[in-house]
Amino acid sequence: MNSNCLKVIVLVAMIVAGMSLPVQSQTVQADSIQLKRIYDEILLHARAYKNLEELSLEIGPRLSGSPQAEKSVAWTMKKMKEAGADTVWLQEVTIPHWVRGEKEKGMIIPSGGKKQTVPTCALGMSVATPKEGITAEVVEVYDFDQLKKLGEEKIKGKIVFYNHPFDQRFVNTFHAYGEAGRYRYIGAGEAARYGAVASIIRSLSSSDNDYPHTGAQRYRDSVPQIPCAAISTNAANLLSDLLKTDPKARFFLQQSCQMLDSVKSYNVIGEIRGSEHPEELVLAGGHLDSWDLAQGAHDDGAGIVQSIEILRTLKALNIQPKRTVRVVAFMNEENGLCGGREYALQARKKNEKHVAAMESDAGGFTPTGFGLNMSDSAKAKIGQWKNLFLPYNVWDWSGEEDGADISPLTDGGKVPGIGLYVDSQRYFEIHHAATDTFDQVNKRELHLGAAAMTALVYLLSLHGL
């Protein structure tokens, strides 16, 4: 090769290298400009907070199978159409129908002295007590190991009291919730194994308060179904202190909840069709149902209105996504996950291709990042966009938690899963309690979460994964 040829090759290589860098830089700059437009549009003109006010105050608690849950289906369909979705439809789901019945009664009964009524609520899917209630001595345990050591001899005929508090050492309160949550979820079945007549748990709350927190529990097929309830953290402290000096203290529990026949309901689905790859889907959503003690504003009204805001913002900015953007309001996350399972089942039957699935179900608090439940290669691609979010204080991409409703779809990596991360320090003061109300939601925090979701959905719809 002569020197002239070598010079030409080197010159061409320099030109190609010089061209590639500006193209990449231009792409990042264009993405940055679009994200700024998205944030500006939402922070100035979002409808999410107003929509949440309607959902919370005009419809209210939306327990699966309730009239309010069915009203919320029609409401969500209307809001998706107003947001500008190209198509909106309902996906039929069969869901459980559990009802709480009359207000529960819980009472601490010392061996001598005055009885004290304490805040009590039945756990979801629990059976009722006899009409006259149950009165029995209390056995306090910290964990299942302690329960097993006590055995049938000391538990039979008594009420098991799971006094397992949140571990305050976890800065991520969801870790503390997951660790303590097993005593709510399977505690009744474990207590029944040793002959307990009922079980009560310390509410899954990060603070001491007078509001009992409900939540789903599951019975074991091989043991009797016994009534189970939660008492407030203050009540748990009171009962625990009493048992130290009065081990013969008793507890009275009365509740009339019951399981009715399953009913028909719906997931609500709206989408904006992609211009270049309409067969590729970028999903975002939350769950439409809530517990019946409050308005379900944070859990998960926030996730619903944030997801609808994605549709509204793309339309308002005249952004035509290359891939189809689909928003799903799932039904029955709280006590069955039937909506998520049905969606995944139908998606696989239709051989639908999901680029990614995102969920907001951690409350409408200040967003901090995203959980990435996906392959290392997919994480690496999303990692290229992290710097775009730093101006908006969205910085934490370290975890892998996504969302319960999308878990049947993501299922071990079949679809990349994404969860909106928020500052969760206050969430478990109100989670599943009567305090989960609209007045607990901050407008700006809610809208920042919607903006973070919309920005990531936009990038996924443009670049794929």
Active-site residue flag, 102: no
Q: DSSP states of 67-132 as a string?
A: HHHHHHHHHHHHHHHHHT-SEEEEEEEEEEEEE--SPPEEEEE-SSS--EE--EEEPBTPPPPPTT
Predicted pLDDT at 5? 47
In which region does residue 344 sit, left (phi positive, over 0), alpha (psi from -120 to 50) or beta (all else)?
alpha
Beta strands across the sheet bearing 353-359: 87-99, 258-272, 323-330, 277-287, 353-359, 417-422, 367-373
At how many degrees (to 10) do helices 302-316 and 3-45 cross?
120
Of 92, 105, 180, 221, nearest to 432 by C-alpha is 180
DSSP 245-307: H-TT-EEEEE---EEEEEEEEEEEEEEE--SSEEEEEEEEEEE----SSS--IIIIIHHHHHH
Question: Which pLDDT score, from 0 to 100, does residue 10 have?
Answer: 37
pLDDT at 113: 81
Are domains 42-97+261-463 and 101-256 of this chain identical in fold? no
**Whole-number pLDDT of residue 22:** 61
336 φ, ψ (degrees, to nearest 5): 170, -30
Q: pLDDT tens for the chain, 465 residues: list them.
A: 544 444 433 333 433 444 444 667 888 999 999 999 999 999 999 999 999 999 999 999 999 999 999 999 999 999 999 999 999 999 999 999 999 999 999 999 999 889 999 999 999 999 999 999 999 999 999 999 999 999 999 999 999 999 999 999 999 999 999 999 999 999 999 999 999 999 999 999 999 999 999 999 999 888 999 999 999 999 999 999 999 999 999 999 999 999 999 999 999 999 999 999 999 999 999 999 999 999 999 999 999 999 999 999 999 999 999 999 999 999 999 999 999 999 999 999 999 999 999 999 999 999 999 999 999 999 999 999 999 999 999 999 999 999 999 999 999 889 999 999 999 999 999 999 999 999 999 999 999 999 999 999 999 999 999
Whether the CB-CB separation of 183 and 211 falls below 8 Å is answered with no
Nearest one of 388, 371, 378 to 455, comparing CA atoms: 388
- Judge contact between 275 and 162, C-beta under 8 A: no
Please, which residues bridge with residue 264 across strands? 94
Read off the tokens for 61: 């608690």
| Partners of 354 in beta bridges | 281
Integer Cα distance of 206 and 241 in angstroms: 19
The number of helices, as runs of H, and strands, as runs of E, in the chain is 14, 15
Q: Which residues pair with 323 in a beta bridge?
A: 277
Strands 228-231 and 198-202: parallel
Question: Alpha-carbon distance 218 to 183, whole Å?
Answer: 11
What residue ranges do the domains of the chain occupy?
Answer: 42-97+261-463, 101-256
Q: What is the pLDDT of residue 25?
A: 83
101-256: which CATH number, 3.50.30.30, 3.40.50.720, 3.30.70.890, 3.90.1200.10?
3.50.30.30
Return the pLDDT at 23.
60
CB within 8 Å of 432: residues ≥ 6 apart: 204, 213, 214, 215, 291, 293, 299
- Among candidate residues 53, 280, 333, 429, the one labeled active-site is 333
Distance CA 161, CA 81 (A): 48
Q: Mention the CATH class of domain 42-97+261-463.
A: alpha beta
